[in-house]
Amino acid sequence: MEINVETQGRVKIVGLRGRLDANSSPAVEKHLQSLVDSGEERVVLDLSQLTYISSLGLRIFIAVAKNIQKVNGKLALTGLSDHIYEIFKIAHFTSIFAIYPSLSEAVVYCAN
Amino acid sequence: MGYEKIRMVLDNDLSEIENLHRELETFGQACGLPRKTVSELNLVLEEVVANIISYSYGDGRRHEIVVRGELKEGELVFEVEDDGRAFNPLEIPPPDVDSTLERRKVGGLGLHLVRKFTNSIEYDRKEERNRLVMRKKI
């Protein structure tokens, strides 16, 4: 699993590349948590290079979303493949996350 | 013709999940399974095996988890056997997936996904071993 972080104005774009499974989840969770702890409150998760997610990956998104909500920040997701979107629907994540079809829309949501 | 049966013996270590995925990919290719089915199979088996590794032991010792699977008459049948503490996943109530983010629990989604991506699940415990059989039509 590769994590790439880019900055666009006040927004951090975190790209996850590879498989988010039981093995890789702890490192990703730690990385995202440290980002929020360092004061980043506007985060876009770009999942366009994410090939697989399990429930341990899903729990990271919930944990990060809760932490960002606590500081009145903004979190958006983009780039979900059909398979990952289906898993999000089963988990009813589509109603609690701001999910955008394009990266630019996700960035605009977080920036404003 | 590729093999249509698989048997894996995994240690109770989360790094084994990578081996599990690799073997399932090979099995899926050999059986000519659609990409979507292989992804769902990976997810189901990971949830079950990661649960066992994370919660079934606690003695700090090495244990073996046996995964057997086959494609038979258009149905995938997978069996997972472990010598951990008794745990019947069928007794776990479904998570509340309709609550707001504030009330939403961080975990508890794994078994929910397993139920959604399989057609049937059976559990039994014999001779101090848990055995879970999952069936999925393709």
Please tell me the distance in Å from B7's CA to the nearest CA on chain A: 21
CB contact under 8 A, B47 and A23: no
CB contact under 8 A, B98 and A87: no
B94 touches chain A (CB under 8 A): no
Beta carbons within 10 angstroms of residue B25's beta carbon: 15
| CATH code assigned at A7 | 3.30.750.24
Model confidence pLDDT, tens digit, residues A46-104: 999 999 999 989 999 999 999 999 999 999 999 999 999 999 999 999 999 999 999 99
Model confidence pLDDT, tens digit, residues A41-58: 999 999 999 999 999 899
Interface of A with B in 88-107 (CB under 8 A): 90-92, 95-96
In the predicted model, is pLDDT for residue B1 greater than 90? no
**pTM, entire model:** 0.89
Grouping H, G, I as helix, E, B as strand and the rest as coil, residue B120 is strand
CB contact under 8 A, A23 and B43: no
User: Which residues have CB under 8 Å from B126's CB, separation 6+?
Assistant: none
- Domain B5-137, second-level architecture: 2-Layer Sandwich (3.30)
Query: Total structural domains in chain A?
Result: 1
- Beta-ladder partners of B9: B66
Report CA-CA distances (Å) from B116 to A63, A67, B47, B71, B86.
Answer: 23, 29, 12, 19, 23
- Beta-ladder partners of B7: B68
Specify the residue for token string 């899903």. A58
- Beta-ladder partners of A48: none
Mean pLDDT for the stretch of residues B2-8: 81
B28 touches chain A (CB under 8 A): no
**What DSSP line would sit under A11-61, residue for residue?**
EEEEEEEEEESTTTHHHHHHHHHHHHHTT--EEEEE-TTEEEE-HHHHHHH
The structural domains of chain B, with segments of one domain joined by +, span 5-137
In the predicted model, is pLDDT for residue B3 greater than 60? no
Model confidence pLDDT, tens digit, residues B79-135: 999 999 999 999 988 888 888 888 888 778 999 999 999 999 999 999 999 999 999
Range of A29's domain?
2-111
Report CA-CA distances (Å) from B5 to A26, A63, B34, B68, B132.
Answer: 32, 38, 17, 8, 17
A69 touches chain B (CB under 8 A): yes
- Beta-ladder partners of A44: A13, A76
